[in-house]
């Protein structure tokens, strides 16, 4: 009797009866691990293909692939200035479109002297109806415009409540970052379509991937630039136009720029993840024609992957904590009734990162969670 009631005997009997469930859990764990490994290998291959191979394998000159001239809007930003200098280093002449001659004139003269390229500076005030558009169109006549670079104006990058921003400053930010960038594309694109080649580069910010409090208007502007670039690429890529959305993270300020605050001093510190503008521009230009949506700098891409993984883990933990509460079931019901789609599909779409290149393998880990949720609901 003692032998029958012993713990070892009970354990063997329970293990024998539950062996099927143990094998099933082991299979699920193996599939989950394999999917994570496959996703990791795929991301590594993409990282090498986008950021390393273009710099190691010689390709055609940029002038042969796209054209001899570039139009740069927003050159007062250090990133745009460095990008224009990198294009000039490849023998591309630059047309600067700016609202302030003083901040760009010295840059244009320096590029002409250092690289032997032509530079043109156009003073354009887009608040004066079509007067600015006319001067830009006249400057582009007879030139092989192969590049358009629109750079986000981060003059309101410091945290500031929407209600504290002056009305004029808010309208100015939206006008420069959304309306003017769209208008510049509208002006340059017809000539590119005639030649069936060209590149449009919209430099926004990594903040386009998620909302940030304190920079509401600026974050929304970056999101517009990103989606505008992606939609434009889908529409015109078949006609020889390459449209790229650059989403850099933190970049050091220009060394020529005075450090007037603690924030500026901190951002001026050069490091592996906070590159100099010229270092970032050199990496970003190498991705032209390779990726239409990228950070432009491989350490920043690593930051994106790490951050995405952390966000997925936090979301999974949050859902796990709520799966026994009424609010959890009400959210599932809302997904099913409001979206009029299958419950598992709703969960998988909410867990997966939206991307035009979204693959099946990225959804496998989340699909396992969806399957478990469905079984749990059916049993309950």
DSSP-assigned letters across all residues of 90-127: TT-EEEEEES-HHHHHHHHHHHHHHH---EEEEE--TT
- pLDDT computed for residue 310 by the predictor: 61
* Mean of all residue pLDDT scores within the chain: 77
Name 108's Cβ contacts closer than 8 Å, sequence gap at least 6.
Answer: 94, 96, 119, 120, 121
> Superfamily for 60-297?
NAD(P)-binding Rossmann-like Domain (3.40.50.720)
CB 316 within 8 A of CB 373: no
Per-residue pLDDT, 314: 54
pLDDT for position 129: 62
The per-residue pLDDT for range 160-190, each reduced to its tens digit, is 778 888 888 888 888 888 988 999 999 999 9
Q: What is the pLDDT of residue 330?
A: 44
The whole-number pLDDT of residue 292 equals: 94
Sequence ranges of the domains in the chain: 60-297
* Separation between Cα atoms, residue 78 and residue 252, nearest integer Å: 9
Distances (CA, A) of 41 to 37, 46, 212, 297: 6, 9, 31, 19
pLDDT in tens, the chain (380 residues): 455 567 677 777 777 777 777 788 888 999 999 998 998 999 899 999 999 999 888 788 999 999 999 999 988 888 999 999 999 999 999 999 988 777 788 899 999 999 999 999 998 877 656 667 888 999 999 999 999 999 987 665 567 778 888 888 888 888 888 988 999 999 999 999 999 999 999 998 877 666 667 778 888 888 899 999 999 999 999 999 999 999 998 888 764 443 333 333 334 456 788 999 999 999 999 999 999 999 999 999 988 888 776 655 554 555 445 444 444 444 444 444 343 334 333 333 333 444 434 344 444 444 444 444 444 444 44
């Amino acid at each position: 009797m003692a032998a029958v009631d012993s713990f070892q005997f009970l354990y063997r009997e329970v293990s024998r009866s539950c062996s099927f469930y143990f094998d099933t859990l082991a299979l699920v764990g193996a599939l989950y691990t394999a999917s994570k490994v496959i996703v990791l290998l795929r991301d590594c291959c993409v990282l090498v293909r986008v950021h390393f191979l273009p710099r190691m394998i010689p390709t055609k000159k940029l002038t042969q692939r796209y054209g001899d001239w570039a139009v740069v809007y927003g050159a007062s930003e250090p990133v745009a200035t460095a990008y224009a200098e990198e294009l000039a280093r490849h023998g591309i002449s630059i047309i600067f479109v700016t609202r302030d001659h003083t901040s760009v004139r010295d840059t244009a003269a320096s590029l002409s002297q250092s690289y032997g390229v032509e530079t043109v500076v156009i003073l354009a005030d887009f608040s004066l109806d079509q007067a600015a558009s006319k001067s830009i169109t006249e400057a582009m006549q007879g030139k092989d415009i192969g590049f358009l670079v629109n750079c986000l104006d981060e003059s309101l990058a410091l945290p500031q409540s929407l209600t504290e921003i002056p009305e004029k400053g808010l309208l100015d930010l939206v006008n420069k970052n959304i309306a003017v960038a769209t208008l510049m594309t509208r002006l340059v694109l017809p000539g590119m379509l005639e030649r069936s080649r060209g590149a449009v580069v919209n430099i926004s910010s990594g903040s386009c991937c998620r909302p940030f409090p304190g920079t509401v208007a600026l974050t929304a502007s970056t999101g517009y630039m990103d989606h505008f670039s992606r939609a434009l690429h889908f529409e015109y890529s078949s006609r020889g136009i390459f449209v790229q959305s650059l989403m850099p993270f933190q970049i050091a300020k220009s060394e020529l720029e005075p450090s007037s605050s603690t924030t500026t001093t901190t951002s001026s510190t050069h490091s592996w993840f906070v590159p100099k503008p010229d270092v970032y521009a050199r990496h970003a230009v190498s991705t032209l024609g390779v990726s239409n949506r990228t950070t432009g700098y491989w350490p920043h891409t690593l930051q994106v992957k790490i951050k995405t993984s952390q966000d997925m883990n936090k979301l999974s933990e949050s859902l796990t904590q709520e799966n026994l509460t009424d609010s959890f079931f009400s959210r599932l019901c809302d997904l099913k009734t409001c979206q009029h789609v299958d419950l598992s599909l709703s969960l998988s779409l909410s867990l997966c990162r939206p991307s035009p290149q979204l693959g099946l393998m990225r959804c496998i880990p989340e699909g396992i969670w969806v399957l478990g949720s469905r079984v749990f609901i059916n049993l309950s």
